[in-house]
Structure 1
Amino acid sequence: MSTTETPAEAGKQAKTVKVKITRDGGHRHKGELHGKDATISVSERDAEIIVDRLKVGERVKGN
C-alpha cells in the first residue's frame, strides 16, 4: 500500500482501459508478448506508459 492511499483505497481495483499495440515487434506486458494490432486491457497508469512514454500503442476510444 502506498503512503498516499487510505486503507479503503488500497483494496480497490485500478480502472482499466484498452490499448491497441502499434509497434511492428509487438509489446511485452506482464511477461506476455502481444503482437501488433492486439488490443489489451491495462491499468490507466500502464496505458500512460505504453502510449505516452514508450510510444508503442494507442488508446482505444469508446471503452
Structure 2
Amino acid sequence: MTADEEREPEVWLVRHGETEWSKSGQHTGVTDLPLTEAGIEAALTLSGLLSGVRFDLVLS
C-alpha cells in the first residue's frame, strides 16, 4: 500500500480479561481487580495475536 492509498477503517473491540467478580456475575464499576488465571491466559493469547497489528488510535 502506498502513502496515497487509503486504508479501510477497522474497529477492534476487546473485552477485559476474567476477574473473580466477572466470573461470578458481579459488576466492578471503577473497582480495579486482578485477573484470574483464565484472564491472564486470555490476555497473553491476545497479545500474541495483536503483536503485529498497527493501531492508529487506542481507547480504553
Q: TM-score, normalized by length of structure 1?
A: 0.23
| Structure with the higher fraction of residues in strand conformation | 1
Q: TM-score, normalized by length of structure 2?
A: 0.24
Q: Which structure is higher in RCO with an 8 Å CA cutoff and minimum separation 6?
A: 1
